[in-house]
Amino acid sequence: MVDAPFALARFRDGAGVRLGLVAGERIRPLTADELGAADLNDFLSAPDWDRLAALAAVNGDEWMPLSDVTLTAPVQPRQVLQAGANYREHVIELVAAGLTQNSDRTPEEAREFAAKMMDDRAANGEPYFFIGLPACVVGDDVPLVLPAYSEVHDWELELAIVIGREAFRVSREDALDHVAGYTIVNDVTTRDLVFRKDMKEIGTDWYRAKNAPGFLPTGPFLVPAPFIDGGDLEVRLELNGQVMQDGRTSDLLFDIAALISGASQTMPLLPGDLLLTGSPAGNGQHWKRFLRDGDVMTGLISGLGTQVVRCVAEEAGR
């Protein structure tokens, strides 16, 4: 469940999926007439939260216990954009570690130098984006199959912005007007595929590293923007009950408005699209511990509920 007065979710209904309204520990299906729109993305283009608040306040036979349904990904994005290197402390740690190993700087000097670099980047630079495949977006009802071609699959828990009204070349001042809500995404990454080995000049290969089936577990809820302060949320991931990541979105180098504005300069962001904001320190590469068969990842972001992803090894010969 979520703390907000209500949220949106999608749940399985036989062979299909239905849109639902969540209030507390209950869920009820939403028809197009009740939604006032043909589908979810159409609704998000001009979300009428008051309309849903009124439905959430009405008791009726439509309501079901949330525990009786199987939730899946709460959104159907046409585009997925991902921000990289966007948590200040995380990037400072990475840069400082490299400087300490490859220069005469002391750890303190390296950290001070890295901090100045990041502050200058935040003041004068631009966010770094890459794109993901919408087909990778799944709910946490789908086990994460770990491809057999690598043993270094990693987690990256992230706050994801759900776009509302279309955003194209918007300013930072107007950017938040284009946020419909927020959800949780785990941006799974295969570390040994990030950098090309056959031609290093090409650089990163985000397609192969981040776009295997199911590599964007999403949800379980879409929480309306009016209920969430996206600028200061806890982002915590536990692996088999042990805390691995624990950061706050207040540490973002480029905040939510800057990310929306920056991403919208190239291509319009469409209703229902996902814009991932980056991941705090504590991924598997830091711990030298990567995902294995049987692992359970529990992702929590303040006000957005809990995501539980179970890992399974790919079948031999698949």
Total domains in the chain come to: 3
**Could you tell me if residue 318 is inside a domain?**
no
Q: Looking at the structure, do residues 306 and 267 belong to the same domain, yes or no?
A: yes
Residue 297, in any domain of the structure: yes
**Shared domain check, 222 and 255:** yes
pLDDT confidence band for 110 (50 / 70 / 90)? confident
Residues 103 and 194 in one domain: no
* Residue whose pair of structure tokens reads 């700087």 in the numeric block: 105
pLDDT band at 193 (very low <50, low <70, confident <90, very high): very high
Q: Are residues 22 and 103 in the same domain?
A: no
- Please tell me whether residue 126 adopts helix, strand or coil conformation: coil
Confidence category of residue 197, pLDDT binned at 50, 70, 90: confident
Is the pLDDT score of 115 beyond 60?
A: yes
| pLDDT value, residue 265 | 97
**Residue 219 domain-assigned (yes or no):** yes
Q: Are residues 162 and 121 in the same domain?
A: no
Look at residue 264 and tell me if it is in a domain.
yes
The pLDDT tens digits of the residues spanning 141-183 come to 999 999 999 999 999 999 999 999 999 999 999 999 999 999 9
Half-sphere exposure of 40 (CA within 13 A, CB side): 25
| 268 shares a domain with 148 | yes
Same domain for 201 and 235?
Answer: yes
For position 92, what pLDDT does the model report? 77
**What distance in Å separates the CA atoms of residue 47 and residue 271, rounded to the nearest whole number?**
10
What integer is the mean pLDDT of 61-88?
95
Q: 267-283: buried (b, 16+ CB within 10 Å) or exposed (e) per residue?
A: eebbbbbbbbbbbbbbb
DSSP, collapsed to helix, strand or coil, labels residue 105 as coil
- In this structure, what token pair is assigned to residue 3? 């703390």
Final residue before a domain boundary, out of 72, 95, 112: 72
pLDDT band at 42 (very low <50, low <70, confident <90, very high): very high
Domain that holds residue 200: 80-85+129-313
Residue 1 lies in a domain: no
DSSP notation for 13-48: ETTEEEEEEEETTEEEE--HHHHTSSSHHHHHTS--
Shared domain for 65 and 196, answered yes or no, is: no
Are 83 and 249 within 8 A, CB to CB?
no
Report phi then psi at 197, rounded to 5: -95, -25
DSSP state of 110: H
Query: Is residue 36 a part of any domain in this protein?
Result: yes
- Do both 104 and 120 map to the same domain? yes
A 10 A CB-CB count for 239 gives 20
What b/e sequence results for 149-160 when a residue is b if at least 16 CB atoms lie within 10 Å of its CB, and e otherwise? ebebbbbbbbbb
The DSSP bridge partners found for residue 160 are 183, 276
| Within a domain: 239 | yes
Distance separating alpha carbons of residues 290 and 222, to the nearest angstrom: 28
Residue 2 maps to a domain: no
Does the pLDDT value for residue 189 go beyond 60? yes
Among 179, 146, 155, smallest CA distance to 292 is for 146
User: Above 80 in pLDDT, residue 93?
Assistant: no
CA 91: distance to chain centroid? Answer: 18
Tokens of 271: 């209703």
Residue type, 77: P
202 with 65, same domain? Answer: no
CATH number of the domain encompassing residue 246: 3.90.850.10
Q: Is the dihedral of CA 119, 121, 124, 130 positive or negative?
A: negative
286 and 159 in a common domain: yes
**Tokens 């703390």, residue located:** 3
Q: Tell me, yes or no, whether 95 and 221 share the same domain.
A: no
CA angle 155, 113, 105 (to 5 degrees): 100
**pLDDT at site 316:** 58
